[in-house]
Structure 1
């Protein structure tokens, strides 16, 4: 199995603009899914990015999302997650469990609407990790 890590940047309503900027700098393709795409009818959040990515042929890759209103957010505070993506649910579950030791679970590792498996954990050093197996 291979595992890749990617910076996952956090915004409040600026994720699409940031991704477009990074694409203009580094090139590549931009893909984004909105809260509306996930079924949200909230007029404030439905057009905001729940998951977005710029991936360029030169190897540059960055993900971003707009933190929902229900999540406390201060610009520059908790500005990123580290995304770990792989293709083996069992292996990623083991990595997630080790990261969770002494940490705080934000989302238990398991199936989600957008991935075969997904989990979020803040490790004992205060770093937030998101692990997933893409569908």
Structure 2
């Protein structure tokens, strides 16, 4: 028996576009994806939006995303994720993709606790923290 936990993100704009970037940042096979039309919602406003998509990353495990249908109230948070570990190359590569078109809140730099730490909000509104252990230099 297995139990897993994974982030479920609601990127603003295009979940497909965000998912492609997350796949570039974190690796993984082609994501499993279902549109709202696939699950029986033929409303033209949502039919082609992503109802649920899952990416299994060899770096971080599972990640799920979906578009938020127009008019959804209250609007769910876009999400916040922390990537951490000691694989400096993988975490730096992920950071480089996540900040493309986004906003760096805290540059990826040495932290008081001995790692390199940074935070950003990607172009879809999802917040990311990256902590590279032992790379505080």
TM-score normalized with structure 1 length: 0.51
Please list the CA deviations of residues 69-119 of structure 1 after superposition, one character each: whole Å capped at 9, or x if unmatched. Answer: 241265xx622399xxxxxxxxxxxxxxxxxxxxxxxxxxxxxxxxxxxxx
- 1:43-58 equivalences in 2 (<5 Å): 43-58=44-59
- Please list every run of 5 or more consecutive structure 2 residues that lacks an aligned counterpart in the other structure: 82-137
**What residue is the counterpart of 1:125 in the other structure?**
none
- 1:1-135 equivalences in 2 (<5 Å): 1-29=1-29, 30-72=31-73, 78-80=77-79
Greater Rg over alpha carbons, structure: 2
Could you say if the C-alpha distance between residues 81 and 21 of structure 1 is closer, same or farther in structure 2, counting changes exceeding 3 Å?
closer
C-alpha distance in structure 2 between counterparts of 1:78 and 1:2, whole Å: 27
C-alpha distance in structure 2 between counterparts of 1:15 and 1:47, whole Å: 11
- Please list every run of 5 or more consecutive structure 1 residues that lacks an aligned counterpart in the other structure: 83-135
- CA-based RMSD: 2.5
Could you say if the C-alpha distance between residues 13 and 38 of structure 1 is closer, same or farther in structure 2, counting changes exceeding 3 Å?
farther
Equivalent position SS for 1:17: helix
Higher strand share: 1
Runs of 4+ displaced beyond 6 Å: none
Offset, 1:10: 0.9
TM-score normalized with structure 2 length: 0.50
